[in-house]
Amino acid sequence: MSSLSAECPLCQPSAGAPLLQTPLWRVVRVQEPGFPAFYRLIWQAHVAEFSELTAAERAGSMEAVAAIERVLIARLQPDKINLASFGNMVPHLHWHVMARFAWDSHYPQPLWGPAQRPADPAALARIERELPALDMAVREALLGLA
């Protein structure tokens, strides 16, 4: 596996609000306006493709993604969870785990597309108030994988 890259934004500690770091991956909450329940699992080493991982690493990383997803479903009851791993703009292996709601500004489109409507401010504020507890629940779920 490759070492970290000084040019890669995901290799930097400022890639999001940190929740948990292991020797293989770290999880951050992405601070994307209008999308508070958005987490990213970032592979620690600077690799571009999922196939570069061993079978055990692939399985372990997907268990972590599933753990985040389960917490979001249990705590927020979203309309949908979006999982994504593109890496076209930043070729560093990572997964997006996003709770999506019918009231969010882009639903049912991806958050990187055009807005469909203004987000419901009351619903958005409710999610934002729950972030400390949500972050703790995500962290505990991930610690439970060890």
* pLDDT tens digits, 39-73: 999 999 889 999 999 999 999 999 999 999 999 99
The helix or strand, by DSSP H or E, that contains position 58, with its residue range, turns out to be helix 55-76
Q: Using N-to-C axis directions, what is the helix angle for 131-143 and 121-129, rounded to 10°? A: 50
Please give the residue range of the domain that contains residue 111: 9-143
Largest CA distance in the chain: 45
pLDDT at 29: 96
1 inside domain: no
Least confident of 19-23, 38-42, 89-93: 89-93
CATH of the domain at 31: 3.30.428.10
Query: Cβ distance 47 to 2 under 8 Å?
Result: yes
Give the bridge partners for 18, in sequence order: 28
pLDDT at 13: 72
Tell me which long-range contacts 100-106 makes (C-beta under 8 A, separation of at least 24). Answer: 104/34, 104/35, 105/34
20 inside domain: yes
pLDDT at 94: 93
Of the pLDDT bands very low, low, confident and very high (cuts 50, 70, 90), residue 15 is: low
Q: Is 71 left (phi over 0), alpha (psi -120 to 50) or beta?
A: alpha
Pairing of strands 94-100, 17-21: unpaired
Residue found by looking up tokens 């962290």 in the block: 139
2 inside domain: no
Which has more confidence, 74 or 7? 74
Which has more confidence, 86 or 26? 26
Q: Does 2 have pLDDT greater than 90?
A: no
Number of domains in the chain: 1
Compute the distance between CA of residue 146 and CA of residue 130 in angstroms, rounded to an integer: 25
What number of other Cβ atoms are within 10 A of residue 142's Cβ?
22
49 inside domain: yes
